[in-house]
Amino acid sequence: MLYLVHMQVNIPATLAPEQADRLKAEEKAYSQKLQADGVWRHLWRVAGQYANYSVFDVAGNDELHQTLMGLPLYPYMAITVTPLAQHPSAIALN
């Protein structure tokens, strides 16, 4: 199943810079592995924000939930999920 996911990151100013840098590095490695595995199909930055829109391809809600909870920055994110379905007028397949 495909899901459009909006992630808004809000790292608190009270978090030590070294810890924030470590979490960002872990986040990058985790997200790149998911991309290489075909789970994180698309990743777009929202210009001017610490946010992104992404498309995930997973078996269902539970797998998406576990994948998102695995993000090192998950505790500092506001996440919105929209399930996607093939549009009957689309000429391209998923």
Q: Enumerate domains of the chain plus CATH numbers.
A: 2-84 (3.30.70.1060)
Percent of the chain scoring above 70 in pLDDT = 98
Please count the residues of the chain. 94
Q: What is the mean pLDDT of the chain?
A: 97
**What gap in Å lies between CA 81 and CA 2, rounded to an integer?**
10
Which tokens in the block code for residue 3? 């899901």
**What gap in Å lies between CA 42 and CA 45, rounded to an integer?**
10
Q: Which residue stretches of the chain are H helix?
A: 17-36, 61-69
Is the pLDDT confidence value at 10 over 80?
A: yes
**Between β-strands 77-84 and 51-57, what pairing exists: parallel, antiparallel or unpaired?**
unpaired
